[in-house]
Each structure stands twice: as C-alpha cells, then as structure tokens.
C-alpha cells in the first residue's frame, strides 16, 4: 500500500512507519494493472465501523486495478477511522491510499470537492461508506466509460441492502420542478432496469465520473452542505450538454441512509427543501425557476401552518430566500453556458418509486407489482408476462385487484419464472393480506 496525505493526513510507505508531510503520489500497482487509474472517493463522518469495513474491503477486493482509495474524514469525533482504513489496506500494497482528516465537518459537498482534488485518477468513483461493491463493479463501470468516452458519468445498479433484492437506484430521474428521484427505488429487481440507458442524473451513493467531465461541469456547490448536491450537479451537467448512462451489470449494495438516519427528519427536511429551491433557481429555465420558487415557498408555508416540521420548514424558507442573491449569481454563469433546453432531459419518463421513507423499507403492494411487471414487459416482452398483466388488469377492473393474496396467487399460476426477487415481493404481498 503506497500512501500520501491530504490536508491533515498521513503518508504510509512500504519502507517505514507513518510520517507526516507531503510527497508525490505513488501509483505503483501490480503487473495486472492495464486500465486507467480509478480514484475511489469515500467521505466519512462518524462512520459505523462495520459498514466502513465492508465498504473498504469491497474496494480492495475488486478485480480491477489500478486503484487509488481517497478517504476524507469530515471531522469525526470517533477515534480510529484512519487506523481502521489503513489496516484494511495493509495486505494490498498495490492500492494507494490518500487519507485526509478534516478538523471540522465541512459537509458532504465540500469534502467531496477536497477528495476529488486529492485524487489523481483519470476516473473518480464516488462511494458512500454505507455501500458495498460487487467485485466486478468497478471493472464494468470502467468498461462502460471506455465505450462512451464523451459521457459525464455512469450509474451502477444500486440495490437496497434490506432486503437485498429490491432497487435503491439505477440512475436518477429529474422532474420538471427540479425534484430528483431514484429510478426504481423500492421496486423488486426483476431485470426491468437491465438495459443500459441514458438517464438524467447520478446518485452519488455510487457513481463513476471521468475527471475531465468533473472539470467541465465544475465542483459541487459547497453552500448545500449535504443533500441534493448530486441532483444539482447532474442538472447543471445536463444544462451544459452532458450525458449520463446506466451500467446495470455493475452492482452495488447500499444500506439506504444508514449514514444519515441519526440526523433526524427536521434536519433533512430543512436541507432538502432549501437545496431543492436553490437547484431550481440556478439551473432551470426562467419561467420554470420562478414557478418552482413560488410553489415551494407556498408548500413550505403550508407545512408550517400544519405543524409538519414547522421549525425546519421555516428555516428552509428563510435560508433559501436569503441565499437567492448568491444563487442568482451562479445562475447567470450556468445559463450563459447553456447548451440544452430543459425539456430534453426533464420529466422522469413515468418512473415510480415504492419506498417508505419513514421506515426505510420498500412498499410491497399490487401497484408496485404492476409497475415492476409493466416495465419488465416494455424491455423484455414475453407471452407469460403479457398474460399475467392482462389477468391482473381484469382483476382490477372487477375489484379483485384489491386483494394482494389473490393477485400473488395469479402471478404464481401464470407461467412466469418466479425469481428470488419476485418471490420476495409476492411473499410480502401475501403477508400484508394476512395482517
């Protein structure tokens, strides 16, 4: 393991113990290395030791080389983050480590900018500390980048760790109001997203970005602190004429929001609502930006009147409006460089999510089943699948479609192959019917 420090970091070398100071990055790798250097960037803040271990192990056990691991610790009070990462790389001398310990919590956006600047890879893989890569995921993403050298980023198929057979995201859809949604969130993974597709944006839980594209689009907006920075960056990239593609064969397991659940609903509400307004103001065409600003202002005022996170909604509005002068300055620069109309990439294309954000679990319902099977039929039409969809449609027309157990039995008898993911969804529907 060759290591150099970032600000506040240390350098490890094979010839001696850790030492402070600078030094040129060593990128020596084993003889198997042939492709471009990939810098895997993990930003941590009070990370769960077990999740961080699994994350880092999945990086070093990747079948791709050359790799560089960049860890930016955002002022964690828990001791031992650096030591844990170093110990996990001790037997992987070919993987270069850059560790940067920040004195304070800069926020995800600023820490990511620091990490991208510290890395030397031609490609940057952003990875959450609560995510775990399949061993071939990096290689498949790199192959996709080689096949589409002008694209600005690549989205793997990210699966929810609980239950392991449902989707977290396969890229991001961006809607006309600037809202981002994770494509497929909560849907059982039956292969309905297994075609490589152009998408509006990336989820930064796991995303591969060429360094050249990062330079074209620019860094994350540090005023966001955290939440929505991936939607903002993706939307800015689209306005500037960039493209994103999915690589569903590259799989990542994600413990959804494990790193942020402790923050509480009010904190997340404040930042998401504020940052959504800023995202629209900076990036959307003028009429749409004004419409979103007014509608989101009204929506947050309604939240306050209905006592739904009133303090957080009030702060979100105040901060959003107070920040408008700065956002308008950013808007002028982005719009000056505009290359595409909003209608070319906004809309969501009928994407529907099925996820309970309060329990952090997929929603398993007849509606979820129909959405999954309908999308699967659109990409891989089969007679048994068509018959099953027609039977469900007939049952819904007669009122029987409200019985999840009956619909589940209909699917089992329809001649379709019942994969583990479909079995999980049907079992959840049957369990719900018994309650």
Q: How far apart are CA 281 and CA 319, in angstroms?
A: 14
Peptide bond into 66 cis (omega under 30): yes
Q: What is the pLDDT of residue 261?
A: 59
Nearest CA among 199, 189, 235 for reference residue 354: 189
Q: What is the pTM of this model?
A: 0.88
Q: What is the pLDDT of residue 417?
A: 86
On whether the CB atoms of residues 185 and 169 are closer than 8 A, the answer is yes
Tokens of 252: 């990542």
The stretches of 307-361 forming alpha helices (DSSP H) are 310-322, 324-336
Q: What is the pLDDT of residue 135?
A: 97
Q: How far apart are CA 143 and CA 245, in angstroms?
A: 12
CA atoms within a 13 Å half-sphere pointing along the CA-CB vector of 173 = 15
Beta-carbon contacts of residue 80 (< 8 Å; ≥ 6 apart): 49
Each residue's pLDDT expressed in tens, for the chain with a length of 435 residues: 444 444 444 433 322 332 222 222 223 334 345 799 999 999 999 899 999 999 999 999 999 999 999 999 998 888 889 999 999 998 888 999 999 999 889 999 999 999 999 999 999 999 999 999 999 999 999 999 999 999 999 999 999 998 899 999 999 999 998 889 999 999 999 999 999 999 999 999 999 999 999 999 999 999 998 889 999 999 999 999 999 999 999 999 999 766 665 666 678 888 999 999 999 999 999 999 999 999 999 998 998 888 777 888 899 999 999 999 999 999 999 999 999 999 999 987 668 899 988 788 899 989 999 999 999 999 999 999 999 999 888 887 777 667 888 898 889 888 888 899 999 999 998 888 777
Q: Is the dihedral of CA 386, 387, 388, 391 positive or negative?
A: positive
Beta-carbon contacts of residue 390 (< 8 Å; ≥ 6 apart): none
Residue 3 DSSP one-character state: E
On whether the CB atoms of residues 234 and 172 are closer than 8 A, the answer is yes
Q: What is the pLDDT of residue 5?
A: 45
Taken in order of first residue, the domains within the chain and their CATH numbers are 3-254 (3.90.550.10), 261-345 (no CATH), 364-434 (no CATH)
Q: How far apart are CA 134 and CA 54, in angstroms?
A: 11
Q: What is the pLDDT of residue 15?
A: 28
On whether the CB atoms of residues 89 and 58 are closer than 8 A, the answer is no
- What 3-state class would DSSP assign to 273? helix
Residue 181's φ and ψ, nearest 5 degrees, are -140, 145
Q: What is the pLDDT of residue 11?
A: 35
């Amino acid at each position: 393991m060759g290591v150099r420090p970032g600000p506040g970091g240390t350098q490890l070398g094979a010839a001696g113990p850790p030492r402070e100071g600078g030094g040129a990055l060593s990128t020596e790798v084993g003889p198997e290395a042939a492709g471009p250097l990939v810098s895997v960037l993990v930003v941590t803040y009070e990370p769960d030791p077990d999740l961080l271990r699994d994350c880092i192990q999945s990086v070093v056990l990747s079948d791709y080389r050359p790799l560089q691991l960049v860890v930016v610790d955002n002022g964690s009070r828990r001791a031992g983050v650096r030591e844990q990462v170093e110990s996990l790389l001790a037997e992987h001398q070919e993987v270069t480590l850059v560790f940067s310990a920040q004195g304070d919590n800069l926020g995800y956006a600023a820490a990511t900018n620091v990490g991208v600047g510290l890395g030397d890879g031609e490609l940057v893989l952003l990875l959450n500390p609560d995510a775990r890569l399949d061993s071939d995921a990096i290689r498949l993403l790199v192959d996709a980048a080689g096949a589409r050298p002008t694209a600005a980023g690549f989205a793997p198929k990210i699966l929810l760790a609980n239950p392991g057979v449902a989707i977290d995201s396969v890229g991001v859809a961006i809607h006309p109001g600037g809202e981002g949604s994770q494509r497929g969130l909560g849907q059982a993974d039956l292969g309905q997203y297994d075609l490589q597709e152009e998408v509006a944006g990336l989820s930064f839980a796991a995303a591969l970005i060429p360094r050249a594209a990062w330079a074209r689009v620019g860094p994350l907006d540090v005023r966001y602190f955290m939440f929505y920075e991936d939607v903002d960056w993706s939307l800015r990239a689209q306005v500037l004429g960039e493209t994103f593609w999915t690589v569903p064969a590259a799989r990542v397991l994600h413990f959804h929001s494990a790193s942020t659940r402790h923050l509480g609903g009010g904190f997340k509400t404040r930042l998401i609502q504020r940052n959504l307004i800023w995202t629209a103001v900076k990036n959307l065409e003028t009429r749409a930006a004004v419409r979103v600003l007014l509608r989101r202002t009204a929506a947050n005022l309604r939240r306050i009147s209905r006592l739904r996170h009133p303090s957080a909604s009030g702060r979100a509005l105040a901060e959003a409006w107070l920040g408008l002068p700065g956002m308008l300055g950013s808007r002028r620069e982005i719009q000056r460089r505009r290359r595409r109309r909003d209608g070319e990439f906004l809309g969501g294309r009928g994407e529907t999510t099925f996820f309970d954000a309060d329990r952090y679990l997929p929603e398993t319902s007849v509606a979820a089943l129909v959405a999954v099977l309908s999308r699967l039929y659109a990409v891989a039409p089969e007679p048994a699948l068509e018959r099953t969809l027609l039977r469900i449609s007939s049952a819904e027309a007669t009122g029987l479609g409200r019985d999840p157990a009956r619909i589940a039995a209909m699917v089992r008898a329809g001649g379709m192959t019942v994969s583990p993911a479909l079995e999980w969804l049907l079992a959840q529907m049957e369990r719900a019917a018994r309650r």
